[in-house]
A and B are shown apart, each in its own frame.
Chain A
């Protein structure tokens, strides 16, 4: 079993859940919140090395967290622009 730690300020919890669902076919996961971290305990189903799954899960979670963050910043900017009719004039 491998334990991974993802800082809450850097990784999105929902995205982490989605990543675990994506890799559910090759490993089982347990998620807990420990202080400022999400802690993920990973157990491979046997076909792939745990370290490889952990690395891939980490990349997936980071990429999706960044995409999520980028789109939420963009949405916030768009709604701020559309709510004030005089914005940008």
Chain B
């Protein structure tokens, strides 16, 4: 069986894909894009294969062959985007987790009560209580008093 086949019948075009080459989610993604201008139907003619039938809506007359080509291009784009997302999934999850944990703010009383205090963590200061106000809120760009005095003098 060929990897891909295109059949045109009446106004509709049916393209059959091998699921080993194109993931089902990529085919779904491409099909979703075409819903606004075509009637789209998916079928599974054989195990491991998905058939996509595109029938142009009356409002959008289109050549079935051109439609098939456009669908294949869109499918390739979807598959490529999916690959990039999969490759960067860990990075995306890390960034999201850090953003969410940062938005949660400093730990509350419950979290502090749950802390296990041992030799290694006894001197941790998650809330910065032991720090002076100046240390905690100092601006990195603000010149030190001695520097500004020298400049003015």
Contacts and interface: CB of A to CB of B under 8 A. Distances in A.
Interface residues of A, number: 19
A76 to B, nearest CB: 13
Nearest to A54: B39
A62 B24 CA distance: 13
B97 A59 contact: no
A32 B35 CA distance: 25
Contact of A10 (B29, B42, B55, B94): B42
A7 B28 contact: no
A10 B50 contact: yes
Contacts of B39: 55-56, 58-59
B81 interface: no
Contacts of A21: none
B41 A62 contact: yes
Interface of B: 25, 28-29, 31-32, 35, 39-44, 50, 55, 90, 93-94, 96-98
Contact of B32 (A9, A36, A63): A63
Interface in A33-89: 36, 55-56, 58-59, 62-63, 66, 69, 73, 81, 87-89
B44 A59 contact: no
A89 B50 contact: no
12 contacts: A7-B42, A58-B39, A62-B31, A66-B32, A73-B25, A81-B96, A81-B97, A88-B94, A88-B96, A88-B97, A89-B94, A89-B97
A35 B81 CA distance: 34
Contact of B43 (A7, A63, A73, A89): A7
A58 B44 contact: no
Could you say which of A5, A63, A88 has the most chain B C-beta atoms within 10 Å of its C-beta?
A88
Given A59-B35, A59-B39, A63-B35, 17 more contacts: A7-B44, A55-B55, A58-B39, A59-B40, A62-B31, A62-B35, A62-B40, A66-B28, A66-B31, A69-B25, A73-B25, A81-B96, A81-B97, A88-B97, A88-B98, A89-B94, A89-B97
